[in-house]
């Protein structure tokens, strides 16, 4: 085995870099979204052991909807990327490019086992630049191929050292081979096929046997005319060890998937559910299709499912000729490689093995897979193809007449492949570019039309997205997902009637339940979301809530483990004012997934509706244990602690709000509630700072503006409150509390009686029964020395609030003054504000205006056609309703201020009466 020189490594790495540098600027597209963006196994908060319990996409292997692709070591590398750069795609693409360079270098070392140095370098260069690899290298999920290939080749190289002097067995390389094979398999399932490569190498390369020699030896042994040679026995022992190790790995793998194959539908792989002979003819035809992609990668497509390759339903289909020709060529090469002991035949044999054996798991010949053709699975088979091409080129270039032509052709192939790879990388820049490039190749795949629609939908371009979704329904009229997409887009366009029709069409395409037959095996689990989406649509109509509930229950009856149906139903039951049933729904969902922070959060909301704040807080805490950065749980648990009135909980509430604004630095709600907490703790300077930050982020933040003005008023900075109130009233001219506070400041601080009068009159225009505004207007009349008008005003106010003694007392004072016809220039009774800030003010309500977002009442909802609920923004944003109840502490404070104010009134009255 020749060593690899530094120049060769530099050449290979340089070529890989030149071909794939632009992949660093691509994002997460296609399967990357599920494997990276939506996969919680990447997060540091997820225990490492979970990686070995879930499939490649983060779904527990025990669940029926699991893809059963068990690749924990690949997911582990994603997790390392996440630790380094979280969800910035460049580091993920950079590591993929590095891994491809490593594979290319190791492949060069393998090539030198069967080719001369020059041919080996050519084979490695062809492999490095081949455009078929863009899906495996530029698509982040293709890392499974890259990692598996590294250990696949390493295992093979290790095995080549297992033959010692005099054909003895060296066990250390064999043990290392088994270990590396297991590691390769944990990166991707095809890694286990290296055992086949090792077996072929041992028999036909290391031992130099040919098929005729093996047949002759076996025949003589069976006839009893000879014994098995010692060298062959040694070989047999090695093969038994390899096969036993492989069998053990297979048994473990079957245990991991719990003896269940993944569930695929006819949309994923139409031939897999087709009858004989359609299934066999189509699957066999896919072999020359894959070979053609290796030979001519001019038209590449990221998705070959659904109607991309029409089914071959007859032996008369012309495409069967391609299948026949392919098997004839394969057979001829196989006979040549197995019959003759030459170096050329050995090279061809190993090339064929590298092409065929790693492709077996994806061939559909032994068990169905979830795709028709997938370019990424050709990553290892392309190694055998490149060896064949390099070997053929070597044979041709040795003939002087073709030498120059062979070099020209080779240079042209390498150069055009490199350009094609460089250009193909840009297709993976975004989902829109990727799927549009695929549509240029294949317009018969409804999934591609759907995916372009999804890309446009993500950009909020619903009108264009609708066109692509509708085209998908025309290409594949029975595609349930396409009709669901149409319905969702109509809903986003507020065309609810058309949306409901589309959902009903999708629902009508669902297979009917057949007694005794497992429903899930005949339908994609995400298609059951049609019931969720339809129910979510019709429940906007209050009269159809029961109908929506029936849809949720129907989905649950089809799949008792349909977690999202329980979540959505729990939300609906809360809306129907059935919190106990909602609690049952969430508890059922938690039985299916106890590690879902969103579910614990929603259960906390149910306990709030049940007036069980302590239980609610426990569930919020459970959600935060699972996800310390759960935004809604942080925010709403902090507000719950604040509303409890318990001083000991305030530090933790403040801590959680600080964590919340760290996660959502642009959300003014967090700063506002920090300001409210600071006001509770009498930290006026800090409260002012937080309120100003909230207003800076949201200039029209109603409650922040009012409470900042109120804070200034409470701290004897009334003149600073005035411009804040002006700003508040500019956005909300009908803000009654703001008008009362402004009128009070104008009257008491600015002595602007006319301005105060306008404020109180405006209040009464909006709300003639407002006692505060009416009483304060009476004070204005008194200040204007119009006692008769003040008297009439107080009589009217007393009629509105006959239980308020201070109004009766003030009326008596005014009547006394009218009878004595003497006017006192100083105010005889105070103007009432929104709060009892000073002792001589009449309190008339809560101290502060509190927005509804301080009540944690939002359930985490599910978007249409999504199987997992995700946190949305804090509840009640941009609303302005007060908390409907006050804590015991607040009530005591208000009562205390009321008593102090009444004492002050009595003192003023004694002075006015000359006592």
pTM greater than 0.85 (yes/no): no
DSSP string, 176-190: HHHHHHHHHHHH-GG
Q: Which two tokens stand for residue 197?
A: 């490569």
Instruction: Give the tokens for residue 319.
Output: 């495409």
Residue 763 lies in a domain: no
Q: Is 34 exposed, middle or buried (0-12, 13-18, 19+ CB in 10 A)?
A: middle
Helices (H), 276-399: 278-295, 320-339, 343-356, 381-397
**Each residue's pLDDT tens digit, 384-403:** 999 999 999 999 988 878 88
Does the CA dihedral 886-888-890-895 come out positive or negative? positive
Please count the other Cβ atoms lying within 10 Å of the Cβ belonging to residue 404: 10
Which residues pair with residue 60 across a beta bridge?
54
Q: What is the DSSP letter of 527?
A: G
How many Cα atoms are found within 13 Å in the side-chain-facing hemisphere of 720?
Answer: 12
Domain count, the chain: 1
The verdict on residue 343 lying in a domain is yes
DSSP state, residue 367: S
Taking Cα atoms as reference points, which of 725, 766, 754, 758 lies closest to residue 742?
725
Q: State how far the alpha carbon of 4 is from the alpha carbons of 13, 106, 141, 641, 900, in Å.
A: 13, 9, 30, 67, 93
| Alpha carbon of residue 421 to chain centroid | 29
Q: DSSP states of 482-548 as a string?
A: HHHHHHHHHHHTT-HHHHHHHHHHHHHTSPPP-TTS-SGGGS-GGGGHHHHHHHHHHTTSGGGHHHH
The maximal CA–CA distance of the chain, rounded, in angstroms, is: 146
Collect all residues with Cβ–Cβ distance below 8 Å to 639 and sequence separation of at least 6: 653, 673, 853, 854, 855, 856
Give the residue from 827, 698, 697 showing the smallest Cα distance to 775. Answer: 827
In sequence order, the β-bridge partners of residue 163 are 169
Cα angle 116-122-126, degrees, rounded to a multiple of 5: 140
Q: pLDDT by residue (tens digit) across 521-562?
A: 445 667 888 999 999 999 988 899 999 999 999 888 888 878
Angle at CA 21, nearest 5°, toward 15 and 25? 165
Q: Is 163 helix (H, G, I), strand (E, B) or coil?
A: strand
Residue 180, token pair as written in the block: 């590396």
Residues of the chain with pLDDT under 70: 1-2, 64-65, 221, 225-228, 258-267, 512-525, 821-915
CA distance 812 to 809: 5
DSSP state of 531: H
- Counting beta carbons within 10 angstroms of the beta carbon of residue 321, is it exposed (0 to 12), middle (13 to 18) or buried (19 or more)? exposed
The neighbour count for residue 717, using CB atoms within 10 Å, is 14
- d(CA 883, CA 643) in angstroms, rounded, equals 10
Scanning the structure block, which residue is given the tokens 């020189």?
5
Q: Is 59 left (phi over 0), alpha (psi -120 to 50) or beta?
A: beta
User: Is residue 534 domain-resident?
Assistant: no
- pLDDT computed for residue 258 by the predictor: 67
**What sign results for the dihedral spanned by CA atoms 347, 351, 356, 358?**
positive
- What does the pLDDT read at residue 231? 75
Please give the Cα distance from 878 to 705 (Å, whole number).
Answer: 13
Q: Hunting for tokens 């509770």 — which residue is that?
A: 680
pLDDT at residue 198, as a whole number: 94
117's CB contacts (< 8 A; 6+ apart) are 2
- Cα–Cα dist 525/559, whole Å: 9
Q: How far apart are CA 96 and CA 781, in angstroms?
A: 81
Packing angle of the helix pair 6-20, 89-111 (nearest 10 deg): 140
Retrieve residue 7's tokens: 């120049």
In a domain, 646, yes or no: no
> Which among 34, 72, 39 is positioned nearest to 53, based on CA atoms?
72
In angstroms, rounded to a whole number, what is the distance separating the alpha carbons of residues 371 and 598?
33
Q: b/e map of 448-487 (b: 16 or more CB within 10 Å)?
A: bbbbbbbbbbeeeebeebbebbbbbbebbeebbbbbbbbb
Quick check: 271 and 282 in contact, CB under 8 A? yes
Closest to 873 in 3D by CA, of 860, 890, 863: 860
Residue at 473 is within a domain: no
Q: Specify burial of residue 18 (Cβ count, 10 A radius: 0-12, 13-18, 19+).
A: middle
pLDDT at 830: 54
Neighbours of 246 (CB within 10 A): 21
How many Cβ atoms sit within 10 Å of the Cβ of residue 602? Answer: 28
pLDDT at 805: 85
Q: Is residue 294 part of a domain?
A: no
Indicate the angle between helix axes 650-663 and 668-680, nearest 10 degrees: 160
Is residue 833 within 8 A of residue 744, CB to CB? The reply is: yes
| Tokens 């959680």, located at residue | 656
Question: Can you say whether residue 216 is alpha, beta or left, with left for phi > 0 and alpha for psi between -120 and 50 degrees?
Answer: alpha
331 in any annotated domain: yes
Tell me whether residue 156 is in a domain: no
> What pLDDT, on a 0 to 100 scale, did the predictor assign at position 517?
53
808-829 residues labelled b (16+ CB within 10 A) or e (exposed)? ebbbebbeebeeeeeeeeeebb
Cβ atoms of residues 860 and 635 within 8 Å: no
Domain limits at 383? 277-289+306-412
What is residue 290's three-state secondary structure? helix
What SS3 state is found at 54? strand
d(CA 387, CA 413): 15
Burial class (CB in 10 A: 0-12, 13-18, 19+), 831: buried
CA end-to-end span of the chain:
118
Q: Enter the tokens of residue 352.
A: 């064929």
Beta bridge partners of 54: 60
d(CA 46, CA 41) in angstroms, rounded, equals 6
CA atoms within 13 A on the CB side of 782: 27
CA 546 to chain CA centroid, Å, is 31
* Residue whose tokens read 């492989």: 246
CA dist 159 and 596 (Å) reads: 45
Ramachandran category for residue 682: left, alpha or beta (phi over 0 → left; psi -120 to 50 → alpha)? left
Chain length of the chain? 915
Q: Report the alpha-carbon distance of residue 198 to residue 350 in Å, rounded.
A: 10
Q: Which residue has the tokens 């499912």?
A: 305
Cα distance between residue 634 and residue 612, in whole Å: 18
């Amino acid at each position: 085995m020749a060593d690899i020189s530094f120049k060769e490594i530099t050449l290979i790495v340089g070529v890989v870099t030149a071909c794939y540098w632009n992949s660093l600027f691509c994002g997460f597209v296609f399967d990357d979204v599920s494997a990276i963006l939506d996969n919680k196994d990447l997060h540091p908060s997820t225990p490492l052991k979970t990686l070995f319990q879930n499939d490649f996409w983060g779904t527990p292997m025990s669940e029926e909807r699991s893809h059963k692709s068990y690749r924990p070591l690949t997911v582990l590398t994603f997790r390392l990327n996440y630790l380094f750069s979280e969800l910035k795609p460049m580091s993920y693409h950079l590591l993929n490019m590095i891994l491809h360079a490593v594979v290319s270098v190791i492949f060069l070392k393998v090539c030198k086992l069967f080719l001369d140095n020059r041919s080996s370098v050519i084979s490695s260069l062809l492999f490095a630049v081949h455009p078929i690899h863009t899906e495996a290298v530029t698509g982040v999920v293709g890392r499974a191929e890259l990692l598996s290939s590294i250990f696949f080749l390493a295992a093979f190289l290790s095995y080549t050292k297992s033959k010692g002097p005099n054909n003895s067995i060296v066990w250390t390389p064999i043990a290392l081979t088994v270990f590396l094979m297991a590691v390769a398999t944990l990166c991707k399932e095809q890694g286990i096929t290296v055992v086949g490569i090792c077996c072929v190498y041992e028999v036909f390369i290391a031992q130099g046997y040919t098929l005729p020699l093996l047949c002759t030896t076996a025949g003589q042994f069976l006839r009893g005319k000879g014994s098995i040679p010692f060298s062959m026995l040694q070989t047999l022992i090695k093969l038994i060890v390899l096969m036993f190790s492989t069998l053990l790995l297979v048994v473990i793998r079957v245990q991991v998937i719990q003896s269940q194959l993944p569930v695929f539908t006819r949309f994923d792989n139409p031939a897999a559910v087709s009858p004989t002979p359609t299934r066999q003819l189509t699957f066999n035809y896919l072999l020359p299709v894959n070979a053609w992609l290796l030979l001519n990668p001019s038209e590449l497509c990221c998705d070959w499912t659904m109607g991309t390759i029409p089914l071959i339903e007859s032996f008369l289909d012309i495409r069967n000729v391609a299948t026949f020709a392919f098997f004839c060529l394969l057979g001829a090469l196989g006979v040549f490689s197995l019959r003759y002991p030459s170096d050329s035949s050995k090279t061809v044999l190993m090339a064929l093995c590298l092409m065929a054996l790693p492709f077996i798991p994806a061939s559909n010949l032994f068990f169905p897979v979830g795709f028709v053709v997938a370019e990424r699975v050709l990553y290892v088979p392309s190694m055998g193809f490149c060896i064949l091409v390099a070997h053929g080129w070597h044979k041709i270039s040795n003939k002087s007449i073709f030498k120059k032509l062979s070099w020209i052709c080779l240079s042209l192939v390498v150069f055009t492949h490199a350009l094609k790879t460089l250009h193909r990388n840009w297709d993976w820049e975004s989902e829109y570019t990727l799927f549009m490039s695929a549509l240029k190749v294949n317009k018969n795949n409804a999934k591609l039309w759907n995916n372009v629609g999804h890309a446009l939908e993500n950009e909020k371009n619903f009108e264009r997205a609708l066109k692509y979704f509708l085209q998908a329904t025309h290409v594949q009229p029975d595609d349930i997902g396409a009709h669901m997409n149409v319905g969702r887009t109509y809903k986003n366009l507020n065309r609810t009637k058309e949306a409901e029709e589309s959902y009903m069409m999708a629902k009508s395409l669902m297979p009917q339940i057949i007694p005794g037959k497992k429903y899930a095996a005949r339908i994609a689990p995400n298609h059951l979301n049609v019931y969720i989406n339809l129910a979510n649509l019709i429940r906007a109509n209050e009269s159809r809530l029961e109908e929506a509930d029936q849809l949720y229950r129907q989905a649950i009856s089809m799949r008792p483990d349909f977690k999202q149906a329980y979540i959505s139903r729990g939300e609906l039951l809360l809306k129907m004012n059935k919190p106990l049933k909602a609690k049952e729904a969430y508890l059922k969902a938690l039985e299916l997934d106890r590690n879902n922070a969103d579910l614990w959060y929603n259960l906390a909301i149910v306990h709030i509706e049940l007036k069980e704040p302590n239980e609610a807080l426990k569930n919020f805490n459970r959600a935060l244990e699972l996800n310390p950065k759960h935004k809604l749980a942080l925010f709403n648990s902090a507000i719950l602690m604040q509303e409890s009135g318990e001083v000991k909980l305030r530090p933790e509430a403040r801590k959680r709000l600080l964590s919340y604004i760290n996660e959502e630095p642009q959300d003014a709600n967090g700063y506002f509630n920090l300001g409210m907490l600071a006001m509770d703790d009498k930290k006026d300077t800090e409260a002012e700072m937080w309120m100003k930050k909230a207003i800076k982020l949201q200039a029209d933040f109603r409650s922040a503006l009012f409470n900042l003005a109120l804070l200034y008023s409470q701290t004897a900075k009334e003149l600073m409150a005035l411009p804040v109130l002006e700003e508040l009233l500019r956005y909300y001219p009908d803000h009654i509390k703001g008008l009362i506070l402004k009128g009070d400041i104008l009257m008491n601080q600015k002595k602007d009686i006319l301005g105060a009068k306008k404020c109180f009159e405006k209040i009464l225009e909006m709300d003639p029964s407002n006692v505060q505004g009416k009483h304060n207007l009476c004070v204005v009349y008194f200040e204007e020395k119009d006692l008769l008008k003040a008297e009439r005003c107080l009589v009217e106010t007393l009629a509105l609030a006959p239980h308020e003694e201070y109004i009766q007392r003030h009326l008596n004072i005014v009547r006394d003054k009218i009878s004595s016809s003497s006017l006192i220039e100083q105010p005889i009774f105070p103007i009432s504000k929104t709060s009892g800030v000073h002792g001589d003010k009449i309190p008339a309500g809560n101290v502060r205006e509190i927005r509804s977002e301080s009540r944690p009442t939002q359930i985490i909802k599910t978007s249409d056609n999504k199987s997992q609920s995700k946190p949305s923004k804090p509840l009640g944003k941009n609303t302005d309703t007060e908390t409907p109840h006050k804590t015991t502490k607040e009530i005591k404070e208000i009562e205390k201020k009321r008593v102090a104010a009444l004492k002050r009134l009595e003192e003023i009255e004694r002075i006015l009466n000359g006592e």
